[in-house]
Structures are given as C-alpha cells and as structure tokens.
C-alpha cells in the first residue's frame, strides 16, 4: 500500500515537483536535492531526500554558516508548504520510509534515546505522522516521542488513513508550519526500561553511528 500510494502521488504531482526543482535551482542553486543520513527501521541509517531549502553561504574562512544564517525566504516558504518533502516519496518506493510513521531524525540522535524512546524505530519512519498532525513543529520533544510511541503501540491501517487525511488539512492550513523540525537539538534525557519491539527487531540505537 505504501508503494502504491507513493507511485500514485508521484504520477499526480510530478509537474509540481518539476516546477519546484526549477525554482530551487533558480533561487538556491545546485544541488536541487538535499540528502542527509537519518535513522530508520531498526536504527539502521538511510539517505533521506528533500528539496533543498537553504543556501551554501560560507564565512570568511570558507566554513559553512549556521542554519539560521543560511535561511532563504524561498526556502522558508517551500518548507511551510511541505513541498520540500516531495522527493521523500522516492524513499517510500525504495522501502526506506512509509507514508505514515515517526519522522526520521538525525543519526546523531540514535545514541541519545532512552530504551523507551528507541522503540520509535520498531516501525519504518514516515513522511507524515501523529506528531505532524498534532502540532507539526510546535510540539516539544517529549510530546513528539509520546506521539511516536502511541503510533507504534497502536499501528493499524485505519489509523494510517486518518493521519493521511489529517495531513492534508494540516498542510493546507499551515498549522504548526512555523520553524524547523530540527531547530531545537535533542540531547536525550537518560534511559528507562522498555518492552522490546513487537515485531522482533533488535534495537540498534546504542551501536549505530553516523556514517
């Protein structure tokens, strides 16, 4: 179902994706796509694809400036409409992601999760999820993980369909679109006992490093 939905979306949205890619090239230069390693199913890493939303502005010594300094008005508008997520449909087709699931986060976070928080990797990460329809970029880390674990513990087709429908409303209303989902870094808050993944996957957040 994930692959079918992703292929259908690609077939319907490719003209929009083409226009966005041309606008990204015009406003931000190349490359058009932003590629970054993220944590996926079982804590394994994969390369997530998005449209680029920041410049390559550098300091006097050639170092890349901070995210805040590299922001661009076009990129901010692109992010607020979620059109920057369109290339992630290819991740769904490749099997890296699902349409619905916990958002894939930075690889550096894998070793910072508590055992309970690491259960978010018992399912494939999603383009959208409970945290996105319940507040998007305005919810705290504790709230995000609570939504992620609620999704893992209550995984079902009806729930996924409801999240997809709510995502359409959230994107159109731009609810919670202000800010960047990774603007506030997650440092972790200790460890706790938790039940293993229900699908039998071994958690690997303690042994996976950024590569």
pLDDT at 197: 66
* Candidate from 37-46, 128-137, 152-161, 174-183 with smallest mean pLDDT: 174-183
Q: Which sign does the torsion angle of CA 190, 98, 74, 143 carry?
A: negative
Structural domain boundaries enclosing 146: 2-173
Q: What H or E segment, with its residue span, contains residue 100?
A: strand 98-100
Q: Is residue 190 part of a domain?
A: no
Is 187 domain-assigned?
Answer: no
Give the pLDDT confidence of 130-145 residue by residue, as tens digits.
Answer: 998 987 777 889 999 9
Average pLDDT over residues 53-79: 88
pTM of the model: 0.83
pLDDT tens readout for residues 80-108: 889 999 999 999 999 999 999 999 999 99
| 36 domain residue, yes or no | yes
Considering the domain boundaries, does residue 182 fall inside one?
no
**What HEC string does 25-72 produce?**
HHHHCCCCEEEEEEECHHHCEEEEEEECCECCCECCCCCECCCCCCEC
Which element (helix H / strand E) includes 127? strand 126-128
Task: Copy the structure tokens of residue 81.
Answer: 């409409």
Instruction: Work out the percent of the chain whose per-residue pLDDT is above 70.
Output: 84
Reported as a pLDDT band with limits 50, 70 and 90, residue 211 is very low
Cα 16 off chain centre by: 20
For residue 125, being part of any structural domain is answered with: yes
Cα–Cα distance measured from residue 140 to residue 68, given in angstroms and rounded to the nearest whole number: 20
Q: What digits encode the pLDDT tens for the residues 47-61?
A: 999 999 999 888 888
Number of domains in the chain: 1
Q: Is residue 101 part of a domain?
A: yes
- Among 41-45, 180-184, 200-204, where is mean pLDDT lowest? 200-204
Banded pLDDT at 146 (limits 50, 70, 90): very high
Residues in the chain, total: 211
Residue with tokens 């995502």: 167
Within a domain: residue 203?
Answer: no
In a domain, 188, yes or no: no
Grade residue 181 by pLDDT with cuts at 50, 70 and 90.
low
């Amino acid at each position: 179902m994930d692959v079918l939905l992703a292929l259908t979306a690609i077939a319907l949205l490719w003209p929009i994706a083409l226009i966005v890619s041309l606008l990204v090239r015009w406003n931000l230069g190349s490359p058009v796509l932003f590629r970054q390693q993220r944590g996926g199913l079982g804590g394994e890493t994969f390369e997530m694809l998005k449209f680029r939303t920041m410049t390559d502005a550098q300091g006097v010594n050639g170092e890349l400036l901070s995210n805040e300094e590299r922001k661009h008005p076009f990129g901010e508008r692109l992010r607020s409409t979620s059109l920057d997520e369109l290339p992630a449909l290819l991740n769904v087709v490749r099997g890296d992601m699902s349409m619905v699931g916990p958002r894939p986060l930075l690889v550096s976070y894998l070793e910072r999760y508590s055992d309970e928080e690491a259960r978010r990797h018992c399912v494939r990460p999603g383009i959208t999820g409970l945290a996105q329809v319940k507040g998007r970029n305005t919810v705290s880390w504790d709230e995000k993980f609570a939504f992620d674990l609620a999704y893992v513990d209550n995984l079902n087709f009806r729930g996924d369909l409801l999240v997809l429908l709510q995502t359409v409303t959230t994107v159109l209303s731009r609810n919670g679109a202000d800010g960047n989902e990774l603007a506030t870094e997650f440092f972790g808050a200790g460890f706790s006992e938790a039940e293993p993944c229900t699908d039998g996957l071994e958690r690997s957040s303690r042994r996976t490093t950024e590569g």
